[in-house]
Amino acid sequence: MPDDPNHPQNKANAVHARQQRLGAALRANLKRRKQQARGRAVDIDPAPADGQDIADKQGRDRKKP
């Protein structure tokens, strides 16, 4: 049973894990869409502009490279 992909318990665990991942992705997407609708669009992974460090955008002091 431990590594048998056809065992009913392993199938149930795999389905549950997939549902959990999908639910988390949907919740994150919904939260982002709500913020965009309120005019608070936030980039998940903002690219640094003209040598500016991402940490500078977060308020921490860092020197530009």
Chain position carrying tokens 């056809």: 6
- Chain segment 14-64, per-residue pLDDT in tens: 999 999 999 999 999 999 888 888 876 665 555 555 555 555 555 555 555
35 vs 12: CA distance, rounded Å: 35
Q: In sequence order, what E strands does 14-60 have? A: none
pTM here is 0.41
43 vs 54: CA distance, rounded Å: 12
35 CA to centre of own chain: 15
Q: H or E element: which one contains 60?
A: none
